[in-house]
A and B are shown apart, each in its own frame.
Chain A
């Protein structure tokens, strides 16, 4: 029987010729990622049992990206704990503020996660790295601690669900809209415990930035991992980045899937996920008149240079609506620098936006843009649960960068054409 790319990677990492869905296996891990919310608790557990050594320091990547630059004393203590742990265990992949970025943008950018890898991370959006053809999944602090100590993890082999995208994308429709549309279709538990495999002609034309966006949100359908096949676009992306050799796996023609979904994307409009679930999606034209207090453009979902270029295309020559806070967060220092070189930051400043150093801050309601009671944001992030960005009675709408930028100009949720056409282009 044929195997999917996910099954092949899991088999290769568990010393087996073949694995099948439901099987419990013990796997060797290539890369372990931890950040400043998940790692301190893992360190606490490692210290509690008196373990003095991690299994392989070079497989561990630590990125203080959530409450950084330290938002308060507790965050500072946590980051200090992580920094000292990295020093103590000679973990060289520790990225301090100033050279760091949001982990899920940073690790691929640095060529640390590669095709065929088995990656685990102390963050649910670790599924992002599936965009390069890796098996990558999120875990909690205890799994993170165990992985650092043993270099291994027990996993249940997920069944796979295939999503095939045909047709051609309308203007302003991006990868974010494809994944929101998909989650809207299958629901936030539509792929629970499964692998989401993304393929089809539309995916074949999608730049890596878009593939990261889609893989990133696999967890919002409950999936264990999201995964893409490696093609020339992947290889080109990896060419000057990959830090070590890698192996490419492909799904067999006769691989078994729980279901194969075919989408004709030609009719899809930009999507908006309304409060309070990522699956509560509507075409932007059907959202209605929704006034907005804050706009966030950034995050592990949509903080890459391609996302900022799209936002700049809409914002150029405009200002954010009065009393609206427009916060733009390049996902990494390299993205920040590139945006500077291309003149995007000037467009953003002219639009009265705040440009932040890389941080996950507002996406989780941590800092750098927390919402008050009754306030409403549109954001290019990935979750809009109750209280996600601040007060339990605040609201978050999710969209692509173009819709977020257009909404910033209009002060209400808007289609990018309402702004750009108005400019006469």
Chain B
């Protein structure tokens, strides 16, 4: 899987309350969630993002609550994947479970700047910064997580096992 897009850069400890405030978390409409994505840090984020764009964060991205609308709103806004130095664990699980891939790469987090165009090869964990002509290597995604992404998330993966569909 290869993604290409513009980078939106964020710092350390981006928490789930700023990713999506609680009042927009009690529905199932992902489009509505997307309208409030990153509202706590940038109220206009949703209108600026184009489909395929990539978020680059710092340490501990997604810390805080277990609210799944956090990765859902990011995916719904059109973000194709998130690169960060590290992720909070529930956010990490939730993202792969809903089919939003994450890559851990400290070097990318340091060198990639807001507005850069980058290309990500998910299977190989290779990040190419097209704006700066740099190639970076992320931690490979565990095989199991790759299966989740290929199946379209955990529920579809389980449905396959349980033969519901």
A-side interface residues toward B, CB under 8 Å? 24, 36-38, 40-41, 44-46, 48-51, 66-67, 74-75, 78, 122-124, 126, 138-143, 145-146, 149-150, 154, 188-189, 192-193, 219, 222, 224, 277, 364-366, 383, 385-388, 392
Contact = CB atoms under 8 A, between A and B. Distances in A.
A103 to B, nearest CB: 12
- Range of interface residues on B (Cβ < 8 Å): 35 or more
A284 B164 CA distance: 56
Contacts of A189: 13, 59-60, 63, 86, 88
Contacts of A74: 26-27
Given A189-B86, A189-B88, A364-B65, 17 more contacts: A36-B26, A37-B25, A41-B28, A44-B28, A49-B159, A66-B26, A74-B26, A124-B64, A139-B93, A142-B154, A149-B158, A149-B162, A150-B162, A189-B60, A383-B15, A383-B65, A385-B15
Contacts of B65: 123-124, 364, 383
B17 interface: yes
B153 interface: yes
A145 B165 contact: no
Most chain B CB atoms below 10 A, which of A40, A46, A146, A150: A146
B144 A49 contact: no
B162 A139 contact: no
Contact of A24 (B13, B17, B88, B144): B144
A40 B69 CA distance: 12
B25 A383 contact: no
Interface in B54-113: 59-60, 63-69, 71, 86, 88-90, 93-94, 97-98
B22 interface: yes
A280 to B, nearest CB: 11
B21 A138 contact: no
| Interchain residue pairs A-B with the least CB separation, the first 8 | A140-B94, A140-B68, A142-B97, A189-B60, A385-B17, A124-B66, A49-B159, A141-B68
